């Protein structure tokens, strides 16, 4: 059975208790909200949980770096579509000044100036926007050198990376604390957690756990979830038995291995790129798989399933329905 909480050796596990305790304090002390927007002194506070005002705040990002945010950010730049979605969902979208060229949700996000693309961050444009908070994507999303550079310019950067569903919720709360919407974040994550639990329970009660292959691509090699990856986690929560590549770093799986694993359900994460049930069934050597024989090949919107953002519960629902079409979800 897969370890639901994999901890890479080099990355310290940061606790989820800080934002939660913080949110509780804010909920109790409504008056402290008024002090949020006051310009704070640039000296960082010593403790990680300021009591009197939300800012300046010292938060620990997913790489274990302590980041100090001196005042409530008014010029937020996001370097990944997931972070952009989260900021908008928290109601801070009006305070965003820059995003990436892959931002597509909500519609307003696409209109943001792009400072980053797959090729990397365009430093000049980022600097010219004069951001006071940058939300970056870890684990190869942004190069570490770029992050160091932005921090060297005195701009607080939070590096976020979620390896599984619980970490996604923690990241949403972290962003909430960073942008001064911790209470909204807490509410959102509570609702998400509840929905995820409900979906997972319903899927678990479906009576079967079919071997599920979440296809990420099929040309030139077959791409699927790596061991202990985010997609594998989602499949497990959605009531499937995930078929993985066999290694934690490789995303490609050989046809032999796939055939031996014999998926009972194939979920097409690459449906947006033209993969359909007919195309899959026509592939050489695939006809022997149970999923192809029974026609259990179902498309899904890969974005909501794998993007570690506020729509994750929707994604889990879609995935659960793809695996168990007869399911009735709350």
Residues that bind other proteins (CB under 8 A): 8-10, 117, 119-120, 122-125, 127-130, 139-141, 143-146, 148-149, 152-153, 226, 248-251
Separation CA 64–CA 82 (nearest Å) = 20
Q: C-beta of 203: minimal distance to other proteins in Å? A: 28
How long is the chain?
A: 330
Q: Which residues contact 290 (CB under 8 A, 6 or more apart)?
A: 211, 262, 263, 264, 296
Q: How many CA atoms lie within 13 A of 249 on its CB side?
A: 3
Residue with tokens 């979920």: 267
Residue with tokens 């060229």: 101
Q: Which residues contact 218 (CB under 8 A, 6 or more apart)?
A: 270, 275, 280, 283
Q: Which is nearer to other proteins, 208 or 247 (CB)?
A: 247
Q: C-beta of 155: minimal distance to other proteins in Å? A: 10
Q: C-beta of 274: minimal distance to other proteins in Å? A: 24
Q: C-beta of 108: minimal distance to other proteins in Å? A: 23
Q: C-beta of 291: minimal distance to other proteins in Å? A: 27
Q: Which is nearer to other proteins, 111 or 145 (CB)?
A: 145
Q: C-beta of 63: minimal distance to other proteins in Å? A: 8
Question: Is 266 within 8 Å of 289 (Cβ atoms)?
Answer: yes
Q: C-beta of 214: minimal distance to other proteins in Å? A: 17
Q: Which residues contact 271 (CB under 8 A, 6 or more apart)?
A: 299, 300, 301, 302
Classify 52 as helix, strand or coil.
coil
Q: Which is nearer to other proteins, 12 or 274 (CB)?
A: 12
Q: Which is nearer to other proteins, 137 or 275 (CB)?
A: 137
Separation CA 56–CA 90 (nearest Å) = 19
- Going from the C-alpha of 17 to that of each of 9, 23, 59, the distances in angstroms are 21, 10, 12
Q: Which is nearer to other proteins, 153 or 273 (CB)?
A: 153
Question: Is 64 within 8 Å of 12 (Cβ atoms)?
Answer: yes
């Amino acid at each position: 059975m897969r370890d639901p909480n994999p901890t890479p050796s080099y990355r310290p596990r940061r606790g989820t208790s800080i934002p939660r305790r913080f949110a509780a304090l804010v909920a109790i002390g409504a008056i402290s909200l008024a002090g949020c927007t006051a310009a704070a002194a640039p000296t960082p506070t010593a403790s990680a949980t300021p009591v009197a005002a939300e800012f300046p705040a010292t938060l620990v990002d997913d790489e274990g770096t302590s980041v100090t945010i001196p005042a409530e950010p008014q010029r937020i730049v996001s370097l990944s579509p997931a972070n952009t979605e989260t900021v908008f969902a928290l109601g801070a979208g009006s305070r965003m000044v820059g995003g990436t060229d892959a931002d597509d949700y909500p519609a307003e996000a696409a209109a943001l100036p792009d400072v980053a693309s797959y090729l990397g961050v365009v430093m000049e444009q980022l600097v010219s926007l004069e951001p006071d908070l940058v939300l970056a994507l870890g684990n190869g999303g942004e190069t570490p050198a770029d992050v160091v550079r932005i921090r060297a310019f005195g701009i607080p950067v939070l590096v976020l990376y979620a390896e599984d569903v619980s970490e996604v919720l923690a990241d949403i709360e972290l962003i909430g604390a960073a942008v001064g919407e911790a209470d909204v974040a807490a509410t959102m994550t509570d609702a998400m957690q509840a929905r995820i639990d409900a979906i997972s329970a319903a899927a678990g009660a479906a009576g079967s756990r079919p071997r599920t292959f979440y296809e990420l691509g099929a040309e030139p090699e077959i791409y699927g979830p790596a061991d202990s990856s985010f997609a594998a986690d989602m499949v497990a929560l959605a009531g499937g038995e995930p078929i993985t590549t066999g290694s934690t770093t490789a995303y490609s799986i050989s046809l032999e291995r796939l055939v031996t694993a014999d998926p009972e359900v194939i979920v097409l994460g690459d449906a947006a790129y033209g993969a359909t049930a007919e195309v899959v069934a026509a592939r050489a050597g695939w006809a022997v798989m149970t999923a192809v024989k029974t026609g259990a090949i179902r498309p899904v919107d890969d974005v909501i399933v794998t993007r570690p953002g506020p729509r994750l519960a929707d994604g889990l629902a879609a995935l659960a329905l793809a695996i168990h079409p007869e399911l009735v979800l709350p």
